[in-house]
Every structure is written in structure tokens, then in C-alpha cells.
Amino acid sequence: MGYLVGTTRLPDIHVGSEFHIRRAAEVGSLDVGLQRDADTRRLEHKMKVEVKNLSAWFRDEKEFTGPWYKAFRFRRPRAEKEKQVLHNISVEFEQGEILGIIGPSGSGKSTLIRCINRLHELAPGARVEGEVFFDGQNIYGKGVDPVDTRRQIGMVFQKANPFPNMTVLGNVVAGPKLNGLVKGKDAQYKMAKSVLEEVGLWSEVKDGLKRPGGGLSGGQQQRLCVARALANKPKMLLMDEPCSALDPKSTAIMEGLIIDLAKVRGYGIAIVTHNMGQAKRIADNILFVEDGRVIEYNTKYNIFNGNAKEQRTRDFVEGKFG
């Protein structure tokens, strides 16, 4: 017996991931992407991320090279020293919702989600203009702690990146220990068990918590990174192509996990993906970005059922370019 994900039937896999496979199967076969589970519907106040007229720049790499660097770098106009990568982006998503961000490579998708939790500003010479509101507060406002913002809006990167010198347990509890959220070995163990169960990984790693996190399989490492993000008790999650390096089985597990995190546990999720099938299976709404500009922001039903407003969008999802 197997599970149907979209139009692909996958073979049975280990029990620890069965729940998340079934979640992906539900979306693939029943197309319930916009439905809310009871837990999500009971949220009286849904936190929301609102991006308003956001623009972003990187420092021009040419600024760092050439024999003229020291002599002339301060004479160059600012506009020549920078490269604009985002142009007046506006979009929003709330708890219980999955926003799919699609577009050609180099269109600014990853930069956008990095701006949403203030990781973009860590790049030398990077800057932003515009506003990003989280639960009604502008995260770029005066006095806002960027570290606290990154704790509440977690990030899962494209490549699984467990801390190489830490155990599985150490990877999960590193953030909470640093932030003072958990103290004592017993509390750390309970917290790690809770989040590892949440991502369907506990049954697979419970006998190897002291092994290096980098020794897990690729799919397990990515779920470990999700658990590490969840351990900091965020309200929203940003995911930058989390399945791009995974095989079909691991991808199905991750998709089921993402659905579960949003629809059952109430996280708001923005996911960057190049996989149109994945966007169709798991997203509620779609943001199509090209050359740092919003081409279309619409429901997934309109985007993938031939009702997109822009011909450029229809061409992209049909694979005519990109």
C-alpha cells in the first residue's frame, strides 16, 4: 500500500512519519488547502505578518574589488554602490495560513523572507525601506530588538544546517538555552522530546540523542532544523526551499509536516519553492515575484486553475519560462 501525494503514489515508510505523509496525502487527493482544523479555528486572535511597500538593496560587489577601491569608493554615488533587489513588495499572511512564494531564480524570493525577520540586514551594506508589521508592530521601528523578532519569526533554510559540533539533543536545545527559555537537563529533555515529536522525528532519534546531528539523513536533518526553530517558540515560520535537496519520500514527509504545523498547530508559514506541484498541494495563497517585483498575489485556486490575472503568471506556472 502507498500514499497518494498529488498524482504520485509513494510507498509506505517508517511509522514515525506516517502522520505527516497522511497530511500531504489529504491535500493531494482532497485539495483542502484552505480548510482550517478545529484548533486553528479556535484562535481568537490570529497574529499576522504584513509587508508594506518593502524595497531592499545589497551593496554592489564591484565595491569590493578593483585597484580603485580605496581611492574612489567614497566618491561613487550611493546609487552606484548598491543593487536594488526588491521593489515595493506588499503581501500578508496570518497564523494558520501557508503562503507560497514562487518565481524565477534570482527574483528576490529569499531576500524577501530574510527581510521579514531582519536577517537581510546582517549582510554588509544591506538596507531596506518600507514596513513589515508583525502583530501590529513595525519590526523595523525604533527600539525593536531584531533578535527577539528572529525568535518569534523562525527561519528554516534551503540546506539542512544542523550545528556540526552538537548532538541531536544539543541542536534542539541550543536556542532555548541561549534565550533562557529552558534550564536544567530534565527540562531540556522534555522540551526536546516535545518538539521532536511535533516534527515526527522522536521515534527515529530517541535512542541516538547524543549522536551528532550531522549524522542523520538529509530529510531527518531538515526536520531537526524545523524542530530547532520550533524550540524557540516562534509564532510564524519562514522556509526557504526546505525540500529542494530531498528525495520524494522525505519531501512528502516535509509537506505533511508543514500542513500540520499550519492547519493543526496554528503557525503562519511563508515558503519559497520552485516546485509548482508543491505550491499547489500545500499553499493557501501564492505570491509570484519576478525581478524583485510582485507580478501577482492571488489564491492558489486562481493561480493553478487558469484564473490568474496576469498572463505572465499563467506562463510561469505552465512552465513556459523560469
Q: What percent of the chain has pLDDT over 70?
A: 80
Characterize the bridge pairing of strands 268-272 and 236-240.
Answer: parallel
Query: Mean per-residue pLDDT for 51-57?
Result: 98
Q: pLDDT class for 181, splitting at 50, 70, 90?
A: confident
pLDDT of residue 215: 92
Rounded Cα distance between 56 and 42, Å, is 36
**How confident is the model at residue 38, as a pLDDT?**
42
The total number of residues shown for the chain amounts to 322
Three-class secondary structure assignment of 124-187 = CCCEEEEEEEECCEECCCCCCCHHHHHHHEEEECCCCCCCCCCEHHHHHHHHHHHCCCCCCHHH
C-alpha count within 13 angstroms, C-beta hemisphere, residue 99: 29
Q: Which residues pair with 102 in a beta bridge?
A: 288
- At 214, list the grid cell: 550531522
Domain ranges of the chain: 9-43+93-107+145-317
Q: What is the pLDDT of residue 26?
A: 52
pLDDT average, residue stretch 97-115: 97
Sign of the C-alpha dihedral computed for residues 276, 280, 281 and 283 taken in this order: positive
E-only strand ranges, the chain = 2-5, 8-11, 48-59, 82-94, 98-102, 127-134, 137-138, 153-156, 236-240, 268-272, 285-290, 293-299
Calpha distance 259→5 (Å, rounded): 13
Provide the CB-side half-sphere exposure for 166 (13 A, CA): 15
Q: Are 281 and 5 in contact (CB under 8 A)?
A: yes
- Our CA angle for 274, 227, 203, nearest 5°, is 110
| Residue 61 scores a pLDDT above 70 | no
Name the band, by pLDDT with cuts 50, 70 and 90, for residue 276. very high
Mean pLDDT value of segment 120-149 = 94
Confidence band, pLDDT 50/70/90 cuts, at residue 23: low
| Per-residue confidence (pLDDT) for residue 183, from 0 to 100 | 83
pLDDT tens readout for residues 200-216: 999 999 999 999 999 99
Q: What would the grid cell of residue 205 be? A: 532519534
Of residues 58 and 16, more confidently modeled: 58
Across the chain, mean pLDDT equals 84
Please say whether the beta carbons of 291 and 83 come within 8 A.
no
Q: Among 218, 222, 219, 224, which Cα is nearest to 206's? A: 224
User: Cβ(203)–Cβ(219) under 8 Å?
Assistant: no
Q: What is the pTM of this model?
A: 0.82
Mean pLDDT on 76-90? 80
Q: pLDDT band for position 22 (50/70/90)?
A: low
Class of domain 9-43+93-107+145-317: alpha beta
What letter would DSSP give residue 15?
G
Contact 246, 254 (CB under 8 A): yes
Q: What is the mean pLDDT of residues 98-112?
A: 97
pLDDT digits (tens, 9 = 90+) for 189-248: 999 999 999 999 999 999 999 999 999 999 999 999 999 999 999 999 999 999 998 899
pLDDT at 36 over 70: no
Higher-confidence position of 123 and 288: 288
Question: Is pLDDT larger for residue 173 or for residue 80?
Answer: 173
Q: Which amino acid is at 222?
A: Q
In the structure, what pLDDT confidence band is assigned to residue 77 with cuts at 50, 70 and 90?
low
pLDDT digits (tens, 9 = 90+) for 149-172: 999 999 999 888 899 889 999 999
Cβ count within 10 A of residue 34:
14
Strand 48-59 and strand 82-94: pairing?
antiparallel
Three-class SS state of 19? helix
pLDDT value of position 241: 94
Percent of the chain exceeding pLDDT 90 equals 67
Mean pLDDT over 56-66 rounds to 69
Please report the pLDDT score of residue 81 as a whole number.
76
Nearest to 94 by CA among 38, 40, 39, 56: 40
Element spanning 230, H or E: helix 218-230
C-alpha cell at 38: 478545529
pLDDT for 24 equals: 52
pLDDT at 138: 97
